[in-house]
Structures are given as structure tokens and as C-alpha cells.
Amino acid sequence: MDDDLVFKALADPTRRLLLDALFVQGGRSLGDLEQVVAQRTEMTRFGVAKHLRLLEQADLVVTCKQGREKLHYLNPVPIRLIHDRWIDKYTQHHVTALTDLKRQLEESP
């Protein structure tokens, strides 16, 4: 597995938007995802397809052909590996406590 492809794939906001959409619900087609992107930015179908291909090459998205449609699913494994690369098992609880605190502070204004 190539680290570089994963990080490069995550570097673009449109691709992160696609991952967000697939996180909420998997099994979406290109046309479906195109509409999701179109709600935020102006982009043609070709642009979205190109982004999806990069996500697929990075193994962040897995696909499944069904007739003439291609369904996309989020694969969380590479993201977990990023986490494990820089967060030690021993400091993990510590960091979790920090992020939970941060979330609480942001929710209550």
C-alpha cells in the first residue's frame, strides 16, 4: 500500500466532501455523488469522476459494479493506519480526553 496516494487523496477539499458523503451513506453512484458536489461548488461530472478515481487508487473508496452503475463505499482502514502512525497506544487515552474536551467546549457557547 502506498502512503503517498492516501495523503495526496486527502489533500483536496472536494475529495474530503466525497468521503463525508460516503460516510453518511455508502453505495452511491457517480451521478449521485455529482449532485452532492454540485450543491456546494460548480464542477462538471468529469471533475468528480477524476476525484473518485484518485480516492479509489488510494484505497479510501472501494467500488462495486452493478449493471451500468458503479457503487462507491468508504473504506476506513487507511485512515485508521494514519492514526496509528503518529498516535502511540499509551498516549491514545490522553489524546481522546483532549479531543472530547475540545468538542464539549465548542458545543457549549
Partner DNA sequence: AGAATAGGTGACCAAAAGGTCACCTGTCTA
Partner DNA sequence: TAGACAGGTGACCTTTTGGTCACCTATTCT
Cβ 86 to DNA, closest distance in Å? 18
Direct distance between the N- and C-terminal alpha carbons of the chain, in angstroms, rounded to an integer: 43
5 interface partner picked from its own copies, DNA, none, CB below 5 to 8 A per type: none
Does residue 81 belong to the site contacting DNA (CB under 7 A)? no
Identity of the residue, 35 or 92, whose beta carbon is nearer to DNA in the bound complex: 35
The set of cell numbers assigned to 80 is 485508521
Q: How far apart are CA 90 and CA 81, in angstroms?
A: 16
Q: Site residues (CB under 7 A) for DNA? A: 8, 11-12, 14-15, 29-31, 34, 41-47, 49-54, 67-70
Q: Site residues (CB under 8 A) for its own copies? A: 3-4, 7-8, 10-11, 13, 16, 19-20, 23, 74, 76-77, 79-88, 91, 95-96, 98-99, 102
